[in-house]
Structure 1
Amino acid sequence: MNPSSLTLERLEFLKIHIGSNVDYSVPEGQSGPQLPFDFNGINFTRRSQLRYPPEEAADPKHFFCKLGVKVMQEDQRDKVIPYEIDVEVSAFFTYEDDTLTEAKRFRAVRFSAYQMLYGAIREMVSNTTARSTFGMLQLPSADFREAARIESEDDEERRKNRLAKLERTKASEDAEDVEIKTRPKKVARKRVADKPSENKP
């Protein structure tokens, strides 16, 4: 087993809302602690964010990623869900490799981060619902490859714009610094005080 190039530094839950849906009916003959729920046709809402320090625009290494998953009854057409879920988690990562650059790096970071964060969300939902009304609910597996590919292209476009802005700002500051250094100094004239006239008797 080879270690991942993306190191998880810290993970934090920002929001945990898991509530029983009173309109849900437990299937007849259910046995066991896990609720046998079919997620086909269920509408999920996913929200995400990826950030890195502005000064690392040329070579991002430290990332903050946030992922939220929301499943609400009002978003469903035909099915009744046992629990309404709105969970958001964030984490700090360090990219330890230089193999991938530009959009490919963002794609790898998003894909790996999404897998870790969604795994944490699934675990939180399972642990919480295991002690709830209808029994343990396990969220389905998810494939984030396409989402990571599309969003990484936007990440790279924003990175290029940010880098260009930083370079323009630095060029402007350098130009001002040169102007200050080359500006001729004014020679201060010493004012000679008038000598008091001597009055002869």
Structure 2
Amino acid sequence: MRKILVCLLFLAIPLIGFSQEEKKEKLFSHTISNNIGIIIPLDLDWGYYPYPTFDGTKYSYLNFIPSYELGFKNMVFAKLKFRNLRNTYYDDYPFFRENNYSDAYSIIFTYNTLWKKSKKLLLKVGQGFSIFNWHTKYERLDGYGNYLSTEYSNHNSFGFLVSLGLSYKIIENFAVGLDIDLYYLILFREYSLSFSYTF
């Protein structure tokens, strides 16, 4: 009997250790994801063409936009996200054209509203802060498509965003989801599909 108890205790030690490691792993999570989506500017008759194009003259398509997210107890999250976007603005067309290219760096803090109800389904709401590094090219035309002059400028801008995300864990480490980010209140809306790996 004593030998059996000793054997059971010997077998239980690794299980206890594994259980403790599992609890420690669940305390913090690390997620790497890629998003594919689109940014839609709010059209206030500012000269944007009302149709989507892959070069971004109206909508900015986001392809493989990377992000890293740190989670705590599957409840609160902090995400670092990089985006690039481009839009073309026409003022008094065909005499003036403005091309904007921007790199956007964002930090987003979210709260999982379903953390008590589901381990696979996550509904995150939160806010964030973005830094935009703008590169602008101004082109003046003669009305016949010929360039008269070109000017370049660079500047930085800052803004807040509201974030909403819904994701579902297909298996323990992989998840798919939908993200919505609203920049400058609603001036720019981003809709994207995310593919993520958590470790």
Kindly indicate whether structure 1 or structure 2 has the higher relative contact order, using CA contacts under 8 Å at least 6 residues apart: 1
With normalisation by structure 1, the TM-score equals 0.31
More strand, by proportion:
2
More helix, by proportion:
1
